[in-house]
Amino acid sequence: MALTTCILGEIPCKILFADGALKPDWAEFVFRILGRESAITAERIVSLGRRSAFEAAAHLFCELFARMDAVGLADETHCPFGLTQVDLADVLDITSVHVTRTMRDLRSRGLVRVRGMVATILVHGALAKVADFDPTYLHMQEPADVRPIASGLRATARRSAPLPSGPELASQSV
């Protein structure tokens, strides 16, 4: 389930497979996506099992900021933030009351502020340290190829190698 508007595309099997084997130009793309999604899932499991609510929330803010930045939707300190208190409670596996306390702690320590639909990371380094955040699991060493985002925003990115040819297929969700 997507919490925000996103663009989805379907890749017909005949485009991915030639003579029963995955086409090489698509293989790298598909496995990169699968690897990133697996790593994000592993970090979620770590957050649920090993991090305090404060650390897990800090990690989530770091990850969301990194992902928004990768698609050109963040500036130095701000990024869109469309999660409600109930959404945060679900993601962090804590109660709404605990979300309130955790957000208050993040604010009082001068790390994060959320106003309206915008999150502000006040001190990146300190937030990353609290969260023990290492962005390498996101596999974003190369800027993402960004397609039109639902609101019509565009971000441009450079890649060292072009994406495989084929239909528009990206699902840019954050």
pLDDT band at residue 96, thresholds of 50, 70 and 90? very high
Residue 163 lies in a domain: no
Residue 157 lies in a domain: no
pTM: 0.69
* Residues 6+ positions from 143 with CB-CB distance below 8 Å: 70, 157, 158, 159
pLDDT at 42: 86
> Among 105, 102, 104, 81, which Cα is nearest to 92's?
102
Quote the tokens at residue 38.
Answer: 């697996």
Residue 95 lies in a domain: yes
Quote the tokens at residue 62.
Answer: 């770091």
Residue 42 lies in a domain: yes
Q: What is the domain-level CATH number for residue 91?
A: 2.60.120.10
Number of domains in the chain: 1
Q: What percent of the chain has pLDDT above 90? A: 39
Residue 90 lies in a domain: yes
Dihedral sign (CA 135, 86, 42, 173): negative
List beta partners, residue 121.
112
Name the more confident of 15 and 134.
Answer: 134
Residue 71 lies in a domain: yes
User: Is residue 50 helix, strand or coil?
Assistant: helix
> Among 153, 173, 160, 165, which Cα is nearest to 72's?
153
Average pLDDT over residues 115-124: 92
Give the rounded distance of the alpha carbon of 116 from its chain centre: 20
Residue 147 lies in a domain: no
pLDDT at 150: 25
Name the more confident of 30 and 20.
Answer: 30
Rounded to 5°, the CA angle 106-108-112 comes to: 40
Name the more confident of 1 and 163.
Answer: 1
pLDDT band at residue 3, thresholds of 50, 70 and 90? low
- Host domain of residue 93: 24-138
Residue 132 lies in a domain: yes
